[in-house]
Amino acid sequence: MDRQEQKKTVRVAAAVIYDGDRYFATQRGYGDWKDFWEFPGGKIEPGETPEEALVREIREELETEISIAGRLAEVEYDYPEFHLSMVCYIARISEGQPVLKEHEAARWLKKEELDEVGWLPADRFVVEMLKLY
């Protein structure tokens, strides 16, 4: 068995939250990738659909309700310690204003500002997609 097969797969859902021409980005406040930027979301728990996980994670991390408009992308990425399988959804805030519970910072970024922050490698793929729209 090679190293690739031994890596644990982590399944997550992420929200590309938009408001007009702006996208919501959060800065990680913990772990090996502290200070990198990402689209908010989190792990999909057993028995949850990716959509259910995403609504729960946004509620827990940002004290905000979202409405999911649709699936945007699926990203497979090999980090040194694990394989990430990420499903990204386009979403809007339906209730509340984001309150940072786990993140250091957050920004609303226009398309031309997306490169102003240091994205996690897996999220970089989504950023490149958004720049094409």
| Domain definitions of the chain by residue range | 3-122
**Cβ–Cβ < 8 Å for 29, 61:** no
Tell how strand 8-19 and strand 82-95 pair up.
parallel
| 33-81 pLDDT tens trace | 999 999 999 999 999 999 999 999 999 999 999 999 999 999 999 999 9
Rounded alpha-carbon distances, angstroms, from residue 87 to 1, 35, 106, 116:
27, 22, 21, 24
The pLDDT confidence band at residue 31, using thresholds 50, 70 and 90, is: confident
* 92 CB burial (10 A radius; 0-12, 13-18, 19+): middle
**Alpha-carbon gap, residue 26 to 50, rounded angstroms:** 19
The overall average pLDDT reported for the chain is 94
Q: What is the pTM of this model?
A: 0.92
Domain over 3-122 is classified CATH 3.40.50.10880? no
